[in-house]
């Protein structure tokens, strides 16, 4: 048995971890607890949060949006942020950092039809397919600008983040999320490897 604490950005990510990842990883004897930071994610806040969590879990991971990360350095990338997270905690060997590109809602574009089904609006499917097509079919490339961030795009629909987000992701299923979102798949594979 391995106990893993996952520090998440907010309520939406916390519900996603609880509804989608916790049951999946429990089958592998990996028991996950999501701990919300309540937004405003920065290296300083992460350092404080992870230094508390490392004493309560065998392994600690993160699930933060790249888009909403505060005080990024010029030219900051997903990899450089994950490295900075590792360097911010003395017991880095217990940490599996993960930054979701560009934000949680990007995962939902893995299945435009599921977005439409859950929101009960058929016209959303071609709209979401068009957005996905603009980013070469890769949900993790959906841009990080204030106009094209996935959550901003979904704001024109009846989408409600904490309710619909985790529900859409659960309906899509981990298999499709992993197939369409390679960064997410790599992270989940690292968590699954803890069972070995």
Domains of the chain from N-terminus onward = 2-103+181-195 (3.40.50), 104-177 (no CATH)
Burial zone of 123 (CB within 10 Å; 0-12 exposed, 13-18 middle, 19+ buried): exposed
The one-digit pLDDT tens for each residue of the chain (196 residues) are 999 999 999 999 999 999 999 999 999 999 999 999 988 899 999 999 999 999 999 999 999 998 878 777 788 899 999 999 999 888 767 999 999 998 999 999 999 999 999 999 999 999 999 999 999 999 999 985 677 778 788 888 887 888 899 999 999 999 999 999 999 999 999 999 999 7
**Residue 17 near residue 8 (C-beta atoms within 8 A):** yes
The pLDDT score that the predictor gives to residue 163 is 85
- How many other C-beta atoms are found inside a 10 Å radius of the C-beta of residue 52? 12
In tens, the pLDDT along 39-85 reads: 889 999 999 999 999 999 999 999 999 887 877 778 889 999 999 99
Q: How far is CA 89 from CA 45, 110, 125, 191, in A?
A: 11, 33, 43, 19
Structure tokens, 131: 């957005």
Q: Give the span between the Cα atoms of 150 and 135, in whole angstroms.
A: 12
Q: Give the span between the Cα atoms of 27 and 151, in whole angstroms.
A: 31
The pLDDT score that the predictor gives to residue 144 is 58
Length of the chain equals 196
**pTM across the whole model:** 0.92
**Residue 67 near residue 103 (C-beta atoms within 8 A):** yes
Q: Give the span between the Cα atoms of 183 and 194, in whole angstroms.
A: 18
Residues in Cβ contact with 9 at an 8 Å cutoff, skipping those fewer than 6 apart = 36, 37, 39, 41, 63, 64, 65, 68, 104
């Amino acid at each position: 048995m391995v106990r893993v604490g996952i520090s998440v950005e907010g309520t939406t990510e916390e519900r996603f971890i609880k509804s989608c990842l916790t049951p999946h990883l429990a089958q592998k004897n990996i028991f996950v607890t999501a701990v919300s930071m309540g937004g405003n994610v920065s290296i300083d806040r992460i350092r404080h949060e992870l230094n508390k969590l490392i004493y309560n879990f065998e392994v600690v991971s993160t699930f933060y949006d790249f888009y909403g990360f505060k005080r990024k350095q010029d030219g900051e990338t997903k990899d450089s942020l994950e490295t900075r997270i590792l360097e911010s905690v003395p017991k880095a060997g217990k940490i599996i950092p993960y930054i979701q590109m560009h934000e949680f809602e990007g995962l939902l574009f893995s299945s435009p039809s599921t977005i439409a089904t859950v929101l009960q609006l058929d016209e959303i499917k071609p709209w979401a397919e068009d957005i996905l097509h603009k980013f070469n079919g890769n949900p993790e490339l959906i841009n990080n600008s204030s106009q094209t961030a996935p959550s901003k795009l979904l704001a024109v629909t009846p989408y409600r983040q904490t309710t619909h987000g985790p529900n859409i992701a659960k309906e899509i299923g981990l298999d499709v999320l992993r197939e369409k979102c390679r960064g997410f798949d790599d992270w989940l594979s690292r968590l699954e490897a803890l069972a070995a």
